Amino acid sequence: MLTLRLYMLQRITALFMAPLVIGHLAVMIYAIQGGLSAAEILGRTQGSFAWFVFYGVFVLAVAIHGAIGMRTILHEWGGLRGPWIDLTMWLIGLGLFALGARAVWAVTFSGGSI
């Protein structure tokens, strides 16, 4: 059920994510040395516009990419048909984005407390 447009969106978001994932993994590998702590993580990210953009783009891309991917799987393996397909895709996409945006906000500009 993938049309050219969804396909291109999935590929473009994937291409965007590739360097971000590598970046994220690198940071994690670095961070994990000596154990993880909230202070360490937040210390790096809080107030940083750069990290906000980094994770913001990531979340946006992952929401689009994941939603399209789940759409395919639900169609092929879940037997989802008709208008349900697109509805589900939007729900997953928006849900992922909402959760992701909340997380990004939390680790960058929430100031550690509300």
**Which contacts qualify for 102-105: CB closer than 8 Å, 24 or more apart?**
103/55, 103/59, 104/52, 104/55, 104/56, 104/59
Taking CB under 6 A as the criterion, the residue among 45, 65, 92, 93 binding ligand HEM is: 65
Number of H helices, E strands in the chain: 4, 0
Pick out residues in 19-78 that bind another protein (CB under 8 A).
21-22, 25, 28-29, 32-33, 35-39, 41-42, 59, 62, 66, 69-70, 72-73, 75-77
109 Cβ contact list (under 8 Å, min separation 6): 46, 47, 52
Work out how close the CB of 43 gets to ligand HEM at its nearest, in angstroms, rounded to a whole number. 25
- From another protein, ligand HEM, none, which one binds at residue 110 (CB under 5 to 8 Å depending on kind)? another protein
Counting contacts by CB under 8 A, is residue 89 touching another protein? no
3-state SS assignment for residue 49: helix
**Residue ranges that bind ligand HEM, judged by CB under 6 A:** 10-11, 14, 17-18, 21, 62, 65-66, 69-70, 72-73
